[in-house]
A and B are shown apart, each in its own frame.
Chain A
Amino acid sequence: MNKPSDQQVDILIGNVLRAGVLLSSAVTFIGLLLYLVHHYSATPNYHQFHSISGKLRHLRELFPDAFHGDPVAIIQVGVLLLIATPVARVAFLVGAFALEKDRMYVVVSGFVLAVLIYSIVFFK
């Protein structure tokens, strides 16, 4: 594969970001609409913190629920897609720096990617 120019990398990253934001906000919007159709007359309660349901915080339960049309789970998938967007951007940069044979910045962006993955998956 040819060495990509900085400009090509920029355009690619711009597209990754735009696609991620579009996709995640579309999913979130659909989830919100479904939620409001079912719960429009519910009484909102955000005054007191009660940590949201554990089901929404674990991927293993979140995705099946979303596929079965649970509106709140669908919104949460949208939120996850949004969080994944900058992570994808950093991952693309690791690859781009590797193709440019820029070892220093492969390490730099690799470090940032590792911190992101650690914080999202493991950090308590």
Chain B
Amino acid sequence: MHQLVFSLVILGGSLLAGLLGSMTGLGGGVVLVPMLALLFKVDLHYAIGASLISVIATSSGSAAAYVREGFSNIRIGMFLEMATTVGAMAGAWLATRTPTRGIAIIFGLVLLYSVYLSYKGHDDQIIPGNKWSDRFKMNGTFPGPDGKEQKYAVKNISGGFATMFGAGTLSGLLGIGSGAVKVLAMDHIMRIPFKVSTTTSNFMIGVTAAASAGIYLRRGYIDPTLAAPVMIGVLIGSLVGAKLLIKSNVKSLRIIFSVVIFFLAIEMIYNGWVGKV
């Protein structure tokens, strides 16, 4: 295959990954890395490097829109980024010390877990107040279903902080945004309202990915000629996806995407197990 054809095919595939990732809320990275590694036989290191770059692009691109809506809580995000950025460094450190087969297997397991998390319901029970939440100035308001501003507080900050370290490590090791784990930490553990959790997570993903992307870059894991079509494709796909989101039937799309991710996960685990990655 010529470079031109290859670049165009990669661009198209990345566009589709970004489109589905943003419409289902699962993120583009989860399908991008298996696509590059399994379908296009790209070395896993390059696949992860290119994916990290695309993760920064989509996070920064969509966060710009979310910030204006006023859902995301900058202080909560910033506080938890202390954990995710250090975690991302730990993940990038682990990446050179883990055999490629191991990375493939871990990737597959994380994919399965992300799909499971996305189906787990979320309850919007709002925490009225908490001493530590006050002390760390994490209380906020968000537009409730009746249009009125609703106040919320945060609980179990240490539990959320520890989970965020794990999310950062996975992000640095696998080149994904690990948005599912970030939302788990905020929504389920810290009891932050779902809408605030997802938008704040989106905001944090770019900062987390930047911490490991610099390391990957200096190690030579980011091949510019591969990263370029991936980044542009995912960015266009996710921006279009965010626009389409309002019009389409997300539920059936989510099921299809989950099935795709499920099979990709099994494929990754299998290939890692037999050493074909």
Q: Which residue of B lies closest to A77 (CB)?
A: B224
**A-binding segment of B21-29, B106-114, B205-213, B257-265:** B205-213
Q: Shortest CB–CB separation between residue A43 and chain B, in angstroms?
A: 7
- Count of A-B residue pairs with CB < 8 Å: 200
Q: Which residues of A contact B219 (CB under 8 A)?
A: 51, 57
A1 at the interface (CB under 8 A from B): no
Bound: A6/B223 CA distance, A: 39
Q: Are A116 and B82 closer than 8 Å at their CB atoms?
A: no
Q: Are B235 and A25 closer than 8 Å at their CB atoms?
A: yes
The number of chain B residues touching the other chain, given as a range, is 35 or more
B190 at the interface (CB under 8 A from A): no
B143 at the interface (CB under 8 A from A): no
Q: Which residue of A lies closest to B227 (CB)?
A: A79
Main secondary structure of the interface of B (DSSP, over half): helix
Residues of chain B touching chain A, judged by Cβ–Cβ distance below 8 Å, are: 1-4, 6-7, 40-43, 45-46, 53, 56-57, 59-61, 63-65, 67-68, 70, 74-75, 78-79, 81-82, 85-86, 88-89, 92-93, 136-137, 206-207, 209-215, 217-229, 231-232, 235
- Could you give, for residues 1-42 of chain A, a 1 whenever the CB lies within 8 Å of some chain B CB and a 0 otherwise? 000001101110111011011001100110110011001111
The number of chain A residues touching the other chain, given as a range, is 35 or more
Residues of chain A touching chain B, judged by Cβ–Cβ distance below 8 Å, are: 6-7, 9-11, 13-15, 17-18, 20-21, 24-25, 28-29, 31-32, 35-36, 39-44, 46-49, 51-54, 56-57, 72-73, 75-76, 78-80, 82-83, 85-87, 89-90, 93, 102, 104-105, 108-109, 111-112, 115-116, 119-121, 123-124
Q: Which residues of B contact A15 (CB under 8 A)?
A: 64
Could you give 27 example pairs across A and B, Cβ below 8 Å? A15-B64, A17-B60, A21-B64, A21-B235, A25-B57, A25-B232, A29-B232, A31-B228, A51-B221, A56-B220, A57-B217, A72-B224, A73-B224, A79-B53, A83-B214, A85-B56, A87-B207, A104-B137, A105-B78, A109-B78, A112-B207, A115-B85, A116-B85, A116-B214, A119-B85, A119-B212, A123-B215
In the complex, besides A32-B7, A85-B60, 10 extra interface pairs with C-beta distance below 8 angstroms are A25-B232, A32-B225, A39-B3, A47-B42, A57-B217, A72-B225, A75-B227, A83-B213, A104-B136, A119-B214
Q: Are B78 and A93 closer than 8 Å at their CB atoms?
A: yes
Interface centre among B46, B70, B74 (most CB of A within 10 A): B74
Q: Which residue of A lies closest to B226 (CB)?
A: A46
Q: Are A52 and B1 closer than 8 Å at their CB atoms?
A: no
Q: Which residues of A contact B218 (CB under 8 A)?
A: 57, 124
Interface centre among B92, B209, B225, B228 (most CB of A within 10 A): B228
